[in-house]
Structure formats: structure tokens, C-alpha cells
Amino acid sequence: MKIELASSYGFCFGVKRAIKIAEEHKGSKTYGPLIHNKDEIDRLKEGFDIGLAEKFEDVTPEDAVVIRTHGIPKDELAKLKAQENKIINATCPYVTTPQNIVEKMSEEGYSIVIFGDKNHPEIKGVVSYAKDLRNVFIVEDEKALEGLPILSKVAVVAQTTRKPQDFLKIVNALVLTHKEVRVFNTICNATFENQDAAAELAKDADVMVVIGGKHSSNTKQLHSICKSYCEDSYLVENENELESEWFEGKELCGISAGASTPDWVVQNVINKIQEIKKADQ
């Protein structure tokens, strides 16, 4: 069985930047998981003494606090500043962009439509920058727009890891029903590249393995895309979750990985797959 990596996969610019920032601040504490990858968070804890504060109560005034790649709500950032913590902002610039857009367009009297998951930390942070939360609408698809009290002028942004095709459906629906629609493409380029590469590989593969955190939005999107082209597509966090029967009778195993997945985890998965195939021979 041949094992082939997607032409684009794994760590994006924002994640590489955040990890570098964390490594440069040994003994600091991240506010929320820095990225959605437990193995990499464990590596930072063991090798760089990077702690984790899940909520504000876990932060003491003496802590140096690294802000997670997904950003945090505006009021929580204000609390950290009021407590006079040393703040190291590792928020991905691609996430900072929709925060700034929402703040500006909200102040100018636009309704805000956000394409994304309301429970995702990135979206919680973006929403918090709106002037009036009653005029912010988070939708998962164009059908969710029906009946919403959106003003005649509306600004639209997207969660950075969403599919462009789905974003366009929401934009098109708004253009047909609203007088002024300001569209801001806030989907990350790395997301485009990883998704396109995974789709191309999945078309030819007998089995696809997508590596990344189970809570990672972009990794789940990759898995969904692969599944649409290759039925035998599996999402794993590391090599320990692989099942030998997945590879029985397969000729091409495709590998992709989410934007928060380090190369060393990808290599561990490849090594394990090779071990499984040798054992079957």
C-alpha cells in the first residue's frame, strides 16, 4: 500500500506563530488551549512549562498570559489588563481581522451576520467586538437567515476555517433580500489550500486519514471534505487511534492534517500505518 501526503497540510502561519510565541515565554500560562491539539499542548507543558488557564479565575495577577490563537472575548481581555497581567497576544492575525471588521461595521450601524459556530472560541471572541449584540446574527447556513430581524444594510464575515462555497450561499441569499451588503472574506488562505489538496488526494485514495484535534473546526472540515470523495475517511488525533482493518485491501492511503497538527504527530501516524502494513504481510 502506498502512503501519500496531501500537497498542503498541517500547521498554518497563525499556529506556527503562536507556538513560537509560547516557546519564547517559558513559564507563562495560556488563556484557553493555545491551539486545538492536545499532543502539542502537552509538549509545550513538558518542554517549556506552559500552563493552562481554562477560565479567568485560573489566572493570578502574577501570571504572564498568552492569548490563544482563536482570540478571547473583548471583556475578558479588558479584565486581564485591569488585573495588570503581562499579556502576550498570540491571536492569529486572520482572527484579529474579523474582530476589527465587526467592531467598525457595528459602530457604523450595520447588522452583522457571522457564518460560523456560535460555540467556537473564535466566534465568541469575534461577536464580543460588536457594539450591540442584539444586532449580531450567527448562522450555520443560508436557511438560518430566514425570519431574522436583519437591517437593510448588513456586513458579513466568516469563521476563518469555513468552506468558501458555503459562505457564498449565505452572501447570495443576503444580496437578494437586502439593500446594502458588505462582504468581507475572512476565510484563511491556508484553509483553502489544505481543503483543496485534501479533496484532490481523496478522489484517488482508497482510504484517507485526517490527523488533528477532535475539537478543531478546520480538521473536522477536512474530514468532511475527504468523506465526500472517499467513504473510508477517518479522523484521528494521533497514531494510537488507528485501526488495522481500515487498511485491509487498500492500495493508496492519503494523509492530511489540520492547521493545528504538528509534523511530528503526522510522522508518528505514518510510522504506525507502515508498521500495521508490515504486520499484515
DSSP label of 137: E
What's the length of the chain? Answer: 281
- The 10 Å Cβ neighbour count of residue 29 is 21
CB 174 within 8 A of CB 145: yes
61: Cα separation from own chain's centroid: 29
- Those residues whose C-beta lies under 8 Å from the C-beta of residue 156, and which sit 6 or more positions away, are 112, 113, 114, 115, 170, 171, 174, 181, 182, 183, 184
Q: How far apart are CA 25 and CA 19, in angstroms?
A: 10
User: Among 40, 76, 122, 239, which one carries the catalytic annotation?
Assistant: 122
CB 230 within 8 A of CB 205: yes
175: Cα separation from own chain's centroid: 27
- Provide the β-strand partners of residue 267: none
Show the cell assigned to 173: 441569499
Tell me, yes or no, if 243 is annotated catalytic: no
Pairing outcome for strands 2-5 and 29-31: unpaired
Concatenating the DSSP letter of every residue in 33-56 gives -SSS-HHHHHHHHHHH--EEESSG
Show the cell assigned to 112: 452583522
Q: How far apart are CA 158 and CA 73, in angstroms?
A: 17
User: Catalytic amino acids?
Assistant: 122
